[in-house]
Amino acid sequence: MTQQTYYRWRREFGGMNRDQLKRLKELEQENTRLRRAVSDLTLDKLILTEAAKGNF
């Protein structure tokens, strides 16, 4: 591990304990999953709106 990597990691996660880091990773994964779900639903809505207008 380089010194730069260590200090970047320390600056980002230095004040957290193991449980907090685990929870942070879980929340990041959930956030990613929810963003993907929202984008899929938005795309579906746009497709249905266009189909309802008859512009397919």
Q: 2-54 pLDDT, tens per residue?
A: 999 888 888 888 888 889 989 999 999 999 999 999 999 999 999 999 999 88
pLDDT of residue 27: 96
pLDDT above 90: residue 56: no
- HSE-CB for 42 with a 13 A CA cutoff: 6
Please choose, from the candidates 19, 1, 26, the residue with its C-alpha nearest in 3D space to the C-alpha of residue 10.
1
Query: How far is Cα of residue 35 from the mean position of the Cα atoms in its chain?
Result: 6
Give the pair of three-digit tokens for residue 55: 């512009």
For the chain, which residues make up each domain, given as ranges? 17-56
